Structure 1
Amino acid sequence: MINTDDAVLSWAADDFGHIVHTRPRGVLRPRTVGEIKDALATGVRLRPRGEGHSTAGQAQISDGVVVDMRGLDTVNVTGTQVTAGAGARWSSVLAAALQAGLTPPVLTDYLELSVGGTLSVGGIGGMTHRHGMQVDNVVSLDVLTPDGVLETCDSGAPLFDLVRGGYGGHGIIVSATLRLVPAPSRVYRYKLPFSSLAPFMTAQRELMESRRFDYLEGMALPDGTFEISLATYSTPALDLPLDEEVSYTEFANRLVLEDMDKPHPWLNVFLPEAAVPGFVASIGDVGPTGTILIYPFDTRLITAPAVALPSGEVAYLVAVLRTAQSPTSLTQMLAGNANLRQRTLDAGGCVYLDGSGTP
């Protein structure tokens, strides 16, 4: 049944960004795929929504119905694979996999995102330099096409490549079967400081190419310096000073988001290596709680053709993660993002999380 209650429509007209507010005609909260098929049969336009982690209204729609996918949240581990409903959170997938001593090869930094959401955009994290994105670790997908046909597709099928990272434009992912790998018991973390960007990027590139570390990220710090974040699984790196040793569960669940009720004008881009210095120099103030992530990955590991990437074998994710503290700061940050977006395109880069169907 499509819900048109005012409170429910207001819920669907908001997201993590708290910037765009588009009210739909209604909200469908299915427990089965058949309910979504029945809605499609009426001719209404549907927009799937997982955890609502979009930042610019990508999971909103004005002339259609938002499909709250959270009811499709089953998780089943069989052998070295897990089948999860599109509405399942990655935290639930990981918990089920760990009971079998396994884990997804790639996790995003924040686990309270939906499986269908991240697979619709790519799903990048600190393991991507070794295992690609989350979409590169999919075995098969169940997809409800726009004409109401439920299709199971795997590698080699055109639909498989269209929907992985396809922002929901070719169908709604309703479940996914993913490969799993043995889970480590312990994680050893390291932080490498750098006073300037050039040596920071050089070291990151060398670390990426060596594949020595299981996890590789980095960030620009508020004082103008930079820091590489590294981790090894199960075996410590004896030549580096250890920052901390934690369980794998603690490591995977390390990120807790704050200021959830404030606007988040986030911008994530993929840049050619040569474009990173100029882009970072033009970011400006990120506010008192802002973060700038910077890390490279091997584009040859990205097998999903729908994921837009710069040309070349190496690209950098630069994520400008800001929280607006006032209407004035939000206006300034959105203007800054518009300039950064254009700079990205002019440099041959790509804007990530920029379409419909986001987590």
Structure 2
Amino acid sequence: MNREITYQAALAVAESMETHFVQHLHEARERGEQALAPEPHAKVIAAMIDTAFWASLRREEGHSPKISLAFLPPDHSVRPLVFEQRLPLTSAILTKLAPGVERAGIHLGIWYEGEELYIWGTMHEITKFCFVLDVSEPGLLVIKHRRQGGLGKFNNVAVLKGDQVKIVDESSATLPDCPNVLSSLLGFASAASWDDSVNVLVQLAVSMRAHGRGGTLLLVPTNDGAWRNSIMHPIQYAVAPAFTELADLLKQDVSERKKTSWQTAIRQAIDSVAGLTAVDGATVLSDQYELLAFGAKIVRAHESEQVKQMMFTEPIVGGEAMVISPGQTGGTRHLSAAQFVHDQKDALALVASQDGRFTIFTWSPCENMVHAHRVDALLL
């Protein structure tokens, strides 16, 4: 591509992104997989990022664009909407198109002829390991691709925010204390298990973050009331008997899960539970996904020490593990979640901040302390 790249982060990340997609596509071909996306070259990646970044800073009728670009020709897509005339890939045209394509699941198709990139239409379905670039908010871009199994949330590869670049470190999934939910976010859960409990927790995290009000979700062992020792009583919004809609859906036969009705029901159930986390206090689920309470106030368990330090990691390239005080990760929600996991070591705490940060708190037997995993780069 001959266009001048003026957004320097696009140049900084383009070659590493080309390497990432080339490697994954090569491995997929070695496995005998079919219907794979074409490899995106560094010049294409840089040009798409540069154009999308400047488009993200524009406004159309007072609104900032939210769009998804997919590097794919129309003959690789299923039932694409193809424009009669190609449109040049420019920030002005992306801004004009944005109001019509900002709904989730719609991608603008990008391809090239000679040295020029163009927009050919829109699509809902894309092939495996297709290079996707999301404009999430002004100055915030996310590079991602479809999961190997094709279901659920896309795998994030890199996040660009202004001059800051975060490249996801896939090797984080092999660390001793990596929780299953983090492995799933990194794309290492089996394709067949996307609708299992671990991946439902991922969808809960995405939905929690989406409501933008912040919140805490506690996952506690089934048939073990020890978690109540870390909650202020009386619990204003205790649920009795436990609400089992989500749990019941997950118990249904695999054949049912392929039906549109089941998929719609599971999304609604997930959004309902995630919505409760917007209420002040924590939402409590059993590890079988039965709703036990919401709006619960976390307190330090009787005779327990106050948590003073914890391990902090973020699964990005160059991110180093640090031992910090819980207050350094955020406010009251983070401090109380760290205390809860310190006291209830078999529990898991998910905390969404109003500013979009998202942290998973687990107990680390290796370090003998609470481990905070910052994962917002994986949820965008």
Shorter-chain TM-score range: under 0.3
- Larger gyration radius, structure 1 or structure 2: 2
The alignment's TM-score, normalised by the length of structure 2, stands at 0.25
So what's the TM-score if we normalise by structure 1? 0.26
Which structure shows the higher helix fraction?
2
